[in-house]
């Protein structure tokens, strides 16, 4: 599964960006490796399954993946990966901005636009059932 979702070439490119595990002086179990957790995230994105449906056979639990996702977000890992891959594509001449599509459907309009008129009430809907 890991080979299909995350190639060795891609992993070798982004692996240095991930935080290294530092053992605690109190001991404890070593954490699940970053590649396994990242592969679980890719699996979720590819299949569209929910958090609770994540199969534990992939090597990490839903809670571990969720916790690591939040930690990596706070550390700025996603931006670093994005910039690293864009830089590599640009250097290889494979980044064609003519083929880029930006979907602005989720972007809030900064000026808000015009206010719509009030929707007139339908008299039948105002009647008591």
Least confident of 14-18, 29-33, 84-88, 107-111: 107-111
Burial class (CB in 10 A: 0-12, 13-18, 19+), 54: buried
Q: 119 lies in a domain? A: no
| Total domain count, the chain | 1
Kindly state whether residue 94 falls inside one of the protein's structural domains: yes
Q: For residue 109, is it within any domain? A: no
Residue 10 lies in a domain: yes
Q: Has residue 25 got a pLDDT over 70?
A: yes
Average pLDDT over residues 50-67: 93
pLDDT digits (tens, 9 = 90+) for 71-128: 999 999 999 999 999 899 889 988 877 777 766 666 566 666 666 677 777 766 555 6
Q: What is the pLDDT of residue 21?
A: 86
In a domain, 104, yes or no: no
In which domain, by residue range, is 27 found?
A: 2-99
In a domain, 123, yes or no: no
Q: Which residue in 16, 24, 56 sits closest to 40, CA to CA?
A: 56
- What stretch of H or E contains 10? helix 8-14
Residue with token string 């690591």 = 68
């Amino acid at each position: 599964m890991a080979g299909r979702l995350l190639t060795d070439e891609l992993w070798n490119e982004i692996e240095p960006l991930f935080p290294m595990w530092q053992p605690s002086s109190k001991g404890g179990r070593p954490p699940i490796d970053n590649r396994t957790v990242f592969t679980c995230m890719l699996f979720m994105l590819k299949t569209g399954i929910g958090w609770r449906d994540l199969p534990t056979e992939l090597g990490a639990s839903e809670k571990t993946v969720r916790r690591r996702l939040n930690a990596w977000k706070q550390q700025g890992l996603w931006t670093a990966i994005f910039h690293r891959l864009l830089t590599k594509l640009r250097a290889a001449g494979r980044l064609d901005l003519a083929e880029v599509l930006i979907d602005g459907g989720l972007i809030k309009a900064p000026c808000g636009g015009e206010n719509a008129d009030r929707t007139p009430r339908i008299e039948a809907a105002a009647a008591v059932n």
